[in-house]
Structure 1
Amino acid sequence: MSVKLKKLNEQVMVLTGATSGIGLVTARTAAEAGVRLVLAARDGDALDTLAQELRQRGAEALTVAADVGNPADVERIGQAAIERFGRIDTWVNNAGIGVYGSQEQVTLEDMQRVMATNFWGVVHGSLTAVKLMKQHGGGAIINVGSEVSDRAVPLIGTYAASKHAVKAFTESLRMELEKAQISLTLIKPASIDTPFTAHARNYMEYEPDLPPPIYAPELVAKTILHAAETPERDLFVGGRARLISTLGAVLPRPLDRLMRAAAFRQEQQPDQPNNPDRRDALHAPDPARELQQRNDLPHKTFERSVYQAYQLRSTPVKTVLVGGALLAAWRLMRRPAQRNVWHA
């Protein structure tokens, strides 16, 4: 069934993880586009500050302090949206957190906290959205995964596991919703310049880092808002994400060796020893780091992505490009194959 989605300026959008990084940029960008927003995060004070900012710009914003790992909290988000606006057109499951360290170092408690937010938060949000959208005319569910949804990396194993789980859950739910007026999209960003590393708990010797190239969070926000208007299956943000996914599927063992050689170095800042008193936002928000869109990592941030620009082109353009590639492949397959003649 073809799902018809509203234009952004006609939409009511629920957005989790709204007070930092990708969520914060998406909230501000959506507000500029005329979206009526239901903003959710753990820090109620940060939410109120953000909502006041957006209202001063003429946007309509409702806030709900909630922990997405708690299903009752997520139910409150949905009910607040219905009571205020009467429907939900797009629900973005964006809230996420991480832990750096080897599998042997990270405690089970911290692993479970990552899964509660990153995986169960998506489950709670998606199922709440499905229930309410079926009652109020359908809509779009957008789950923010990662390039590690397709290919795990060392030192953030639990984070990768949670994003693998998000992918599997999203794909299964999409098939089950085939006849519903609900679009379900998985967004898979590469390394994004957000406070993710500062919010993550760290067991390593040095401060966490992100492997380059690093992309601007505005690119993810643009991709999310595209999926809110246009039904899409999977969208990558950054050519690196598409490359890692492809290499993981086609050349898994060589990619293992490449990651062993590079990842342990790229995921740490060798000139920044880990501070034993370092604060993080794993089990509770860190007010000092809320309402920050970007981090201060010592890398260039790419403001554009050629691959992402291709993905967001109109369907006719993509059809021509993909169709040409398929036609060329078909012609190659139609060439007479040489026969191997075996002689006894």
Structure 2
Amino acid sequence: MHAAQRDGRLDGTTVVIAGASSGIGRATARAFAAQGARLVLAARRRDMLEDAAAECRRAGGEAIAVPADVTSPSDMRHLLDAATDRFGGVDVWINNAGVGAVGWFEDVPLEAHRRTIETNLLGPLNGAHAVLPHFIDRGRGVLINTNSIGAWVYPPGAVAYAAAKAGLHGMTEALRHEMRRHPGVHVCAIYPYFVDTPGLKHAGNYTGRTLNPRGPMQSPGRIARLMVDLAAHPRRRVPVGLPTLLGRVAYALAPDLVGRAMLAGVEMALARASPGRNGSGNLFGPPEDRMAVRGGGQSLLPVAVGLGAAGLLAAGALAAGRRAT
């Protein structure tokens, strides 16, 4: 990496984070700032970006706020220009913006499905298309895509999200193979499980229920620390935590079993949830409330239980099958 590393710090590293106003992105901005990095923060809400940039400056880094929508290719080009104009170049680019639409497929408006895919798949594509020529010209750079367990395990009630994350996995893998032509350019991805962010609270909700189940989740701070480590020591893919590994293995071994377990979990969670109003959330515009890093422990715990049980059953079935042959 081009940055001057002193006492474990990444002084002088210029990091662009698309989707930096809350959740994982905001936690990641703080973590890089604490390492002495220079931050270029992007999201749709200027006021929240300015707050995030001020936090980064207090943490020890330089930071600017650049309002941008990842679904706009011109906004991503402008984001790159703003970074190079201010800091002379980009060392790390993180495609982190994400949205979701929750509900049975036929109940979710088509435009909500499309917007989910535009943000979660075309957004990273737009960011990558803007920055990779810059990295190639400089001969170095790290691109990080924030993916999820949804790249490998496809939950009912979130069809467009699953499609986008599976597509993002394929895009990341193909880009990595292409960038072998440029040894200094790295393409990476991180795959968390459910993370305690405001994401579910702000998602498009077409269930007629309040999306507020509780359960253990991964912390944004943990993901942020992994982002910093991944930028300094690029790796192809980083699954986060045992649930992600179990889910990936379970689905690969017994997709139908896992699918039935997830469906039962989602149905159970919705049946227990209190009635709520449908709405598009942050799909078509930023939320109006004051966003934060954490979301308050929201989770789809029954899905987690189903994944774990399915993983054990699938592993047992595979072992039994091998003994029988």
Instruction: Return the TM-score normalized by structure 2.
Output: 0.86
Rounded Cα–Cα distance in structure 2 between residues aligned with 1:57 and 1:224: 17
Deviations, residues 12-49 of structure 1 (Å, cap 9, x unaligned)? 00001101100011111111111100000000111112
- 2:35 aligns with 33
Question: 1:28 is matched by which residue type in structure 2?
Answer: R
Match of 1:132 in 2: 134
CA apart distance, 1:87: 1.1
User: Residue 92 in 1 paired to residue 94 in 2?
Assistant: yes
Taking every aligned residue pair, what percent have the same amino acid on both sides? 33
Contact 1:213/1:240 (<8 A) preserved: no
Mark the CA change 1:300 to 1:118 in structure 2 (over 3 Å): closer, same or farther. closer
Instruction: Report the CA distance between 1:86 and its aligned residue.
Output: 1.0
Q: Distance in 1 between matches of 2:113 and 2:298?
A: 28
Residue 215 of structure 1 deviates from its aligned partner by 1.0
Shift in CA distance, 243/141, structure 1 to aligned 2, threshold 3 Å: same
**Is residue 30–residue 59 contact of structure 2 (8 Å, CA) maintained in 1?**
no
Say if 1:269 and 1:298 are closer, same or farther in 2 by CA, change over 3 A. farther
Q: Which has the greater radius of gyration? A: 1
Looking at structure 2, the residues matched to 157 and 56 of structure 1 have their Cα atoms a distance apart, in angstroms, of 40
Q: Secondary structure at the match of 1:206?
A: coil
AA in 1 matched with 2:109: T
Deviation of 1:123 (Å): 0.2
* Distance in 2 separating the partners of 1:299 and 1:152: 16
CA offset digits 1:35-82 (Å, max 9, x no partner):
100000000111112212322444210111000000000000001111
The alpha carbon displacement at 1:269 in A equals: 7.6
> In the alignment, what sits opposite 2:206?
203
Q: Find the aligned partners of 1:214 and 1:57 in 2 and give their Cα distance.
A: 25
Structure 2 residue matching 1:296: 3-state secondary structure: coil
Q: 161, 173, 187: which is aligned to 2:190?
A: 187
Which residue of structure 1 lines up, in the alignment, with residue 319 of structure 2?
A: none
CA RMSD of aligned residues (A): 2.1
After superposition, residues 167-316 of structure 1 pair within 5 angstroms as 167-180=169-182, 181-209=184-212, 212-266=215-269, 268=270, 270-276=272-278, 280-290=281-291, 292-297=292-297
Q: CA deviation at 1:254?
A: 1.6
Cα 1:225/1:85, change in 2 over 3 Å: same
Report the count of equivalent residues.
296
Provide the C-alpha distance between the structure 1 equivalents of 2:164 and 2:38, rounded to a whole number of angstroms. 30
Work out the CA distance in 2 between the residues paired with 1:200 and 1:183: 31
Looking at structure 2, the residues matched to 155 and 11 of structure 1 have their Cα atoms a distance apart, in angstroms, of 40
**Separation in 2, partners of 1:22, 1:72:** 24
Structure 2 gap ranges (5+): 302-324
Q: Distance in 1 between matches of 2:267 and 2:102?
A: 11
For 1:237 and 1:42, the matched residues in 2 are separated by 27
Report the Cα offset of residue 296 of structure 1: 2.4
Partner-residue secondary structure (3-state), 1:37: strand
What runs of 5+ residues in structure 1 fail to find an aligned partner? 302-339
Q: Which has the higher helix share?
A: 2
